[in-house]
Amino acid sequence: MNNISLFRNCCLKILNRSRSLHTTNKLSLFWEKDDRGGYPSTLPQQGIKEKMRSGLAEMKEEIKLWCHEMKENLESDPQILFRPEEVDVAWRFKNPESLEKWIATCDSDYNEGFSNCTLARNMYGNAVFSGNINLRVPKDGRVYRAGYCNIKTKPFRRSFKRETYLNWIGYNTLVMKIRGDGRTYLLNIGARGYYDVAWLDQYHYQLYTRGGPYWQIAKIPFSKFYFSSKGRIQDDQHPLTLNKISSFGISAQDRHGGRFNLEIDYIGLEYDPKHVEEFAYEMYKVDKGIVSV
């Protein structure tokens, strides 16, 4: 077999690969500048021997992750983001390792309530977010409202402890296949801004579930997500920035309390060419002094 045939076969293998999502990866450098430069570090300082010992212990997993990144770069397809009405799965829970990318928290973890929740896999290979929302407020004089549970993705990172973010710039719709209990859940998308004051910005939208034994596919355009910062909805609204997604989460919180159960098959993304809305919330300028932005 000549070189041309070998090159052609390699190209065909890459084009026929299975579809997947890729995190942003601009440069293949092992060292990157810390965005928090100039701020005092709160991490405990280690000696050179301790750093070498801990680094060598993690070297095997980091090299394995680096090889996976290089494979993704070689197999990346720039046309994958522009295939209309096809769902690209971002998270699925068919193996136990998939749950390691998520963390479940509730108010009792911070001594701010008595709720509890778990994220586990059932016998069918689906994720089940379940627990109990307890509205009882601790009598400490500090907390005045309680009752929430939340699941959230862990910070995305590349090999050798380098941070990274998801790039959803080619999509305009969030797609979820779920089986709920009739409750309303809150979807949370973290979008890391370019300045430190925007690192805690979040975008939210309500996920309405029907309840019952049947699955439902929820399609939510990104233009419907509204902007908040540190838990407060902002007067100055603007669309979600999709090129630096830092986290995705689901919250269970309402004024009724009690047991809840949300089963998730997959969470994916889609480009809908028929959806042309850029932002769903009309903004208008007002005179200074009437409202602060």
What tens digit of pLDDT does each residue of 3-50 get? 545 544 544 444 444 344 545 445 556 566 666 666 666 667 777 777
* 116 domain-assigned: yes
Overall average pLDDT of the 160-175 stretch: 85
Q: What is the CATH number of the domain that holds 107?
A: 2.60.120.430
Prediction pTM value? 0.76
Range of the domain at 263: 88-270
Q: Where are the beta strands (DSSP E) in 64-215?
A: 88-92, 102-106, 116-121, 127-133, 149-153, 157-158, 162-163, 173-179, 184-191, 201-208
Cβ neighbours around 186 below 10 Å, total:
16
**Residues 58-74 pLDDT 10s:** 777 777 776 777 776 66
How many of the other CB atoms lie within 10 Å of CB of 225?
23
Residue 151 within any structural domain of the chain: yes
Query: Number of structural domains, the chain?
Result: 1
In a domain, 182, yes or no: yes
Distance separating alpha carbons of residues 101 and 248, to the nearest angstrom: 11
| Unique residue bearing structure tokens 């701010």 | 112
Question: Phi then psi for 109, rounded to 5 degrees?
Answer: -65, -20
pLDDT in tens, 222-265: 999 999 887 788 888 888 989 889 999 999 988 888 999 999 99
Q: Say what the pLDDT of residue 173 is.
A: 95
| Domain contains 226 | yes
73 lies in some domain:
no
- Residue 45 vs residue 276, higher pLDDT: 276
